[in-house]
Structure 1
Amino acid sequence: MGSRLQALIGVIALMSAGLFLASCSDDVGVDQHGQKVAVERLEGQWLVINYWAEWCAPCRTEIPELNAFAEQQRDKGVKVLGVNFDGLQGDELGQATKKMGIQFTVLAEDPSKRFDLPRSEALPVTYIIDAQGKLRDRLMGEQSAAGLTARLEELRKGS
């Protein structure tokens, strides 16, 4: 009886460890402030994912537009996320986002695999992901808040 109890306890311990580890991967990494970005914050929302770099002049011009768009969409089921094209991490990422004036969440880890985003060699590039996690559009070049709002409305009507 003792060995059966030990085996049962071992199985429960392994299952618990597996569940714990699975829940740890339930995030999309950290943001520019080093804070964990839980997947729950993104689920069921439309995502506007913008790739940018400090050396990209159109990126610098479009950041205020993305900030305005993010603020306008705050309570409308839309989340704006940034991704640094050069893969900056930690303090470097935090300093770059501050220097660029970025007010929306910037992911330290590239979410392209999670959302099956095609790689772009040109910047800026913005992807629109629907509330079910499906890629709906890839926008090349500098975007405006008004243009993003109009495109989002078109896509929502077509869903």
Structure 2
Amino acid sequence: MSLCTPFSKVVLRWLLLLLILPLPGYAADFSLEDTQGKTHRLADYRGKWVLINFWATWCPPCVTEIPELSSLHNAHKDNDLVVIGIAMDSGSSKKVVDFAKARGISYPVVMGNQEIAAQIGEMEVLPTSYLYAPNGEQVSYQPGEVTRESIEAYIKSKKFN
């Protein structure tokens, strides 16, 4: 009798995933270096909402979302919310930096990879956004586009200390 039955393989995969994937709730204190060389850590933004947005230059819905995210960031960055974009483009950062400048991206942009994605959480499609409350709790995961209006409405409906 073999110990590696199809059922045991499935159970083993789920157990491994449980050990690897972060639990919902409070995030690990990620550390991300943007294209300007500045480090962004979740702990640095305690007291503010943090929206992490995975995107790519070649992704049409991501490009559509950029003006919404820039508007959101500009309206709130000095008070209660910051946006950090994680570009999942392969190749040189110069392409992403030039793209960001041409599109008027006003929020910090990080060059993404699987290691960075693992710090934040699951990502199956682009764009994907994670929203962290001022206390560091991950409160929203949104595959697909988000709008300034939807993020502001969500934040307004929540009370976090």
1:78 aligned onto 2:78: no
The structure 2 residue matched to 1:49, chosen from 49, 52, 59, is 52
* 1:157 to partner: Cα distance: 2.5
> 8 Å contact 1:54–1:100 — kept in the other structure?
no
CA RMSD of aligned residues (A): 2.6
The structure 2 residue matched to 1:137, chosen from 136, 140, 149, is 140
For structure 1, list consecutive stretches of 5 or more residues without a partner in the other structure: 1-25
Give SS of 1:157's match: coil
Quote the Cα distance in structure 2 between the aligned partners of 1:134 and 1:112. Answer: 17
Runs of 4 or more, structure 1, over 4 Å off, are none
> 8 Å contact 1:89–1:108 — kept in the other structure?
no
The 3 A distance-change label for structure 1 pair 57 and 124 is same
The C-alpha deviation readout for 1:30-65, integer Å capped at 9, x for no partner, is 2122x2225364344221011111111111111011
The structure 1 residue matched to 2:33, chosen from 27, 30, 46, is 30
Quote the Cα distance in structure 2 between the aligned partners of 1:27 and 1:125. Answer: 17
Per the normalisation by structure 1, the TM-score is 0.68
Give SS of 1:123's match: coil
Partner residue, 1:157: 159
Aligned residues: 130
The structure that is helix-richer by fraction is 1
Rg larger in structure: 1
The structure 2 residue matched to 1:107, chosen from 106, 110, 115, is 110
Partner residue, 1:93: 96
Quote the Cα distance in structure 2 between the aligned partners of 1:43 and 1:89. Answer: 32
* 1:29 to partner: Cα distance: 3.7
The 3 A distance-change label for structure 1 pair 151 and 66 is same
Give SS of 2:54's match: strand
Report the AA paired with residue 131 of structure 1: P
